[in-house]
A and B are shown apart, each in its own frame.
Chain A
Amino acid sequence: MSRLLRPAVVVWLLALIGSLAVIANTHFTADMSAFLPRHPTEQQSLLVDQLKEGTLSRTLLIGIEGSDPAGRAKLSRGLTRALMQSELIATANNGSDESSAQERELLFRHRYLLSPAVTPEHFSVEGLRESIANSIDMLASPVGVLLKKLLPRDPTGEIMQLFSALGGGSMPNSQFGVWASQDGQRALLMVQTRAAGSDTDGQEAAINAVRLAFAEAAEQSAIDDAKIELSGAPVFAVEARATIKSEIRRLAVISALGTIALLGFAYRSATAIMFGLLPVLSGALAGIAAVSLGFGSVHGITIGFGTTLIGEAVDYTIYYFVQSSSADGDRAQRWIERFWPTIRLGVLTSICGFAALLGSGFPGLAQLGLYSIVGLITAAAITRYVLPIICPAGIGQRPLGNGGLGKRATAGLMHLNRLGAQGRGNWIVIGLALCAAAVIFQARDRLWDDRLSGLSPIPPAAQALDQKLRSDLGAPDLRYLVIIRRHGQEAALAASEEAGRVLDRLVDANVIAGYNSAARFLPSQASQQQRRDALPERAELQRNLNEAVRSLPLSASRLGGFVDDVAAARTAPLLDRDQFQGSSLAMLIDSLLMHRKTATGEEWTALLPLRAAAGQDIDPSRIQAALAAANIEGALCLDLAGESAQLYSAYLHEVILLSCAGLAAIAVLLTIALRSPRRMLHVLAPLLATVLIVIAGLSLAGIKLTLLHLIGVLLIFAVGSNYALFFDRPAGEAQAPLDTATLSSLLLANMATLIGFGALALAKVPVLNAIGVTVGPGAVLALLLAALLAKS
């Protein structure tokens, strides 16, 4: 009992309890936040806002397949009706007249507050004559059929402009009155969830509601051969989270079982396995607790990465058990003297590598760094200070070299080590490294995947479906945006109107095809006031109208509705956001005019998405220049695709810097610890060769490198150095091959690391997979090459 009261044990137990307490209160996430920058630039934060809150993050694209066109149209209508009733769905549109009737009615009712054409001159005799004559001309055109009915109430043609703003751009194909794909094989809908992109739970509920509503609609209309397809950002977010969750569970089980099986094979003792895993588990708990304290929440990716920690941290106990087994007397003491300095240096190099990740602006990586550092230090410290105290004597004293398979493997490693000691391994390693370098040089142009989507956990099939639905729907990709921030709604709307005037000129000049703006549907109060004041009194309007239509084929007596509507508009209250409540216009306005409370007060962000002319690109710098010339303060033109590409290259740039910093730190550490550039080189040479061979291997396997592979390279140094260090000897010492016990412990430890990282290689989440396929083979190669290079 007295053993358990030793300071080291007490500290350990207290730390364990503390960690568990922190973890119990930890918020775990599995959303996309791990992929978004921690310290964004202004442009990046706009991009992040869009990804988290923007329209795009709420838009579901829905396809109905199977049955016949009439059946699909029926389902589309049934589904739309049900979704418009749902609390979870903000808007549902299937292209049918009924799904936009309310919006058109609203625009028509408020047309005199909404139309920019409304000025006092507009209602003069001359103004009326001109606009009415224009409307009559339009009757003869192809849109005349639509206009005819509206002419008596809207002879000045305010509504046509507003409708075209609502439609904005090309409309999807239509079959039986609802949207359909180009090939006519599926009905299409566009739905916006009420939950924002950052609310994955809410979006999951909305997606389930859609599926349920579809099943009900299918049952009601007795159609059983149709199915629904969903895509869009909410689906991706929900699926990515589900994938990450299930993957983590799977990885944890695989690597835990693998490690336990390996230890069981080596020790043949349940007690040894239990004691062997103690430092690992403590390290994992301490790591999670540290991330929770440091970041406020723990991402699933971090936990997934934790499986590798099992593999690496279990090394320490393997060294402890196996290496001390051949020693006589106080074996723990012998081990501490003989091996601890090497292991300690290994832990320190690993920490140097992981510490570089701490500086990353990519939150997933920074969490990985902290988790690994705390986990490794904890596991090593417990192995060094706690295990010798609590571990019963005689545990795990069964060297691997005694078993059949283990014996052969150890013999193999010993053979390599002997080749190295004789100085014959150098040529093998140099030859392999040169071959690898040649392969890399050959593939240098197709080595990299330079898209952020290379990191995306969305499977290619789902991305393809999204592309298909998106192009069929002509869904805006919202790539180009003008963004204006103000401290009040009125100011933001007024600035939007100013920017709108600039953009109108650009539309006339064919620089852009069009744009949208919240101010179109909700003009600033000042503009509305101005327009309302411009409306003439009833008697005056009637007088002007009588005069204006004298030369036109339209008599004033037919235009009573117009006179009534203008009279009513003069006394109608100004529009505010609430008058749109319940229609899809409310959602549209909210998505174009975002509102949030900040430390300095309220902030309103107006977004004006730009539409490129067919087959043309938009040059953001040209838009920016036009906005600047109009002196619209702080108006920014943003290319979201360019911005996310830049985000990626910023990450890549940062990761390269961090990797270099990590490598430099490892080099400095080794120089100080080994006090010899020659010995440092001796430790690093097999690692350099390993990196070349791994990259060449990945390239031959057709895997394109992302920045995560680069992180993997850094970790090859951080992890692989642990093995290389064992083959390092001070210059004076004999270059004899290592003894069997040491070699077998190295082999066992290496296998454990391979299991940990190998499990990651099985992951479908690209972040985890990339690190797994790089570090897993890297760790094994590092050991083999280090053995081959045992004599420098």
Chain B
Amino acid sequence: MKRLAALICLLCLATTASAAWDVNQLMNDLAQKTGGRARFVEKQYLAVLDKPLVSSGELSYTAPNRLEKRTLSPKPELITLDDDTLYVERGGKKFSLRLSSRPEAVAFVDSIRGTLTGNRKLLEASYALILTGTQANWTLRLLPSDSEIAVLLRSIDIRGVRDRVTSVEYQLADGDRTVMTITPVETSP
């Protein structure tokens, strides 16, 4: 009996020791950021095309709920996420989409939103989280837990350095994938 208690203690200690840096810690680090701007380069590898589609532009984020993706090349496009609504401006046309009407879109958007705000609950609502690497070079893999989303999406890999996300990679269920690399723009205060 004593030996069993000791074993449990030992196990507990082991867990705390390795948990010096874990998902909670990462989420805490991420949550510190209240906003920022970054450049992005997005490469889409689609089976139907011979070459990847490359686009680039700027991302900006204002905590907690506003995210803007401004594509500058090859064609200007502005996508704004404000709370529950996605606004798209493209070729002089505007349209909006209420996210709550599309569960799969919500899952996609929550992966970004959850990561940027360090909201573990939000992420775990749709995904199982697997964290690997070190604080200086981590990878957070999101695996969809909902079968409806799994039909579209295999996984999302978010890579980062400390409190900064450096790339997001979507693996779609049909084999296509999208990689977005992010480099911060130092804004003078």
Contact = CB atoms under 8 A, between A and B. Distances in A.
B44 A139 contact: yes
Interface string B48-61: 11111101000000
Given A139-B46, A553-B52, 6 more contacts: A142-B88, A142-B97, A144-B44, A152-B48, A173-B100, A173-B101
Minimum-distance CB pairs A-B, first 6: A553-B51, A553-B49, A174-B101, A173-B101, A553-B50, A140-B53
Contacts of A145: 152
- In this complex, which of B42, B52, B74 has the most chain A Cβ atoms within 10 angstroms of its Cβ? B74
Interface of A: 136-137, 139-142, 144-145, 148, 151-152, 170-174, 177, 553-555, 558
A148 B176 contact: yes
B88 A554 contact: no
A170 B85 CA distance: 13
B49 A136 contact: yes
A142 B101 CA distance: 15
A585 B42 CA distance: 40
A141 B49 CA distance: 15
B90 interface: yes
Contacts of B102: 174
9 contacts: A136-B49, A140-B42, A140-B55, A148-B46, A148-B48, A173-B98, A174-B102, A553-B53, A555-B50
A136 B54 CA distance: 11
B162 interface: no
Contacts of A554: 48-50
Contacts of A137: 74-75
Nearest to B148: A177
Interface string B87-118: 01010000001101111010000000000000
B23 interface: no
A141 to B, nearest CB: 6
For chain A, what secondary structure do more than half of its interface residues adopt (helix, strand, loop), or is it mixed?
Answer: loop
A97 to B, nearest CB: 12
A558 B88 contact: no
B86 interface: yes
Contacts of B98: 170, 173
Contacts of A555: 50
Nearest to B172: A145
Interface string B126-152: 000000000000000000000010001
Contact of A558 (B48, B101, B174): B48
B77 interface: yes
B122 interface: no
A136 B174 CA distance: 18
Given A148-B46, A171-B101, A173-B98, A141 B51 contact: no
A177 B146 CA distance: 14
Nearest to A164: B95
A109 to B, nearest CB: 21
A172 B53 contact: no
A183 B105 CA distance: 19
B79 interface: yes
A148 B48 CA distance: 8
Contacts of A171: 101
Contacts of B53: 136, 139-140, 553
- In this complex, which of B44, B46, B74, B102 has the most chain A Cβ atoms within 10 angstroms of its Cβ? B46
Interface residues of B, number: 29
B11 to A, nearest CB: 39
Contacts of A136: 49, 53
A209 B55 CA distance: 54
Interface in B25-64: 42, 44, 46, 48-53, 55
B152 to A, nearest CB: 7
Contacts of A140: 42, 44, 53, 55, 71
A177 to B, nearest CB: 8
A141 B77 contact: yes
A152 B49 CA distance: 10
B68 to A, nearest CB: 14
Given A139-B53, A142-B88, A151 B101 contact: no
Contacts of B44: 139-140, 144
Contacts of B52: 553
A76 to B, nearest CB: 15
B179 to A, nearest CB: 13
A171 B99 CA distance: 11
A117 to B, nearest CB: 15
B145 to A, nearest CB: 16
Contact of A142 (B86, B148, B174): B86
A161 to B, nearest CB: 12
A151 B100 contact: no
A173 B97 CA distance: 10
Contacts of B176: 148
Nearest to A557: B50
Contacts of B100: 173
Nearest to A559: B48
Nearest to B178: A140
A177 B148 CA distance: 10
Contacts of A170: 98
A151 B48 contact: yes
A558 B46 CA distance: 13
A148 to B, nearest CB: 6
A171 B77 CA distance: 23
A580 to B, nearest CB: 27
A148 B49 CA distance: 10
A174 B103 CA distance: 8
Contacts of A139: 44, 46, 49, 53
Contacts of B88: 141-142
A553 B49 CA distance: 6
Contacts of A174: 101-103
A277 to B, nearest CB: 65
- In this complex, which of B53, B55, B101 has the most chain A Cβ atoms within 10 angstroms of its Cβ? B101
B90 A141 contact: yes
Interface in B146-172: 148, 152
A484 B11 CA distance: 81
Contacts of A151: 48
B79 A142 contact: yes
Nearest to B71: A140
Nearest to A152: B48
A136 B53 CA distance: 8
A735 B50 CA distance: 112
Contacts of A172: 101
- In this complex, which of A172, A553, A554 has the most chain B Cβ atoms within 10 angstroms of its Cβ? A553
Contacts of A142: 79, 86, 88, 97, 105
Nearest to A555: B50
A141 B174 CA distance: 18
Contacts of B152: 145
A129 to B, nearest CB: 15
A113 B60 CA distance: 44
Nearest to B102: A174
A259 B44 CA distance: 86
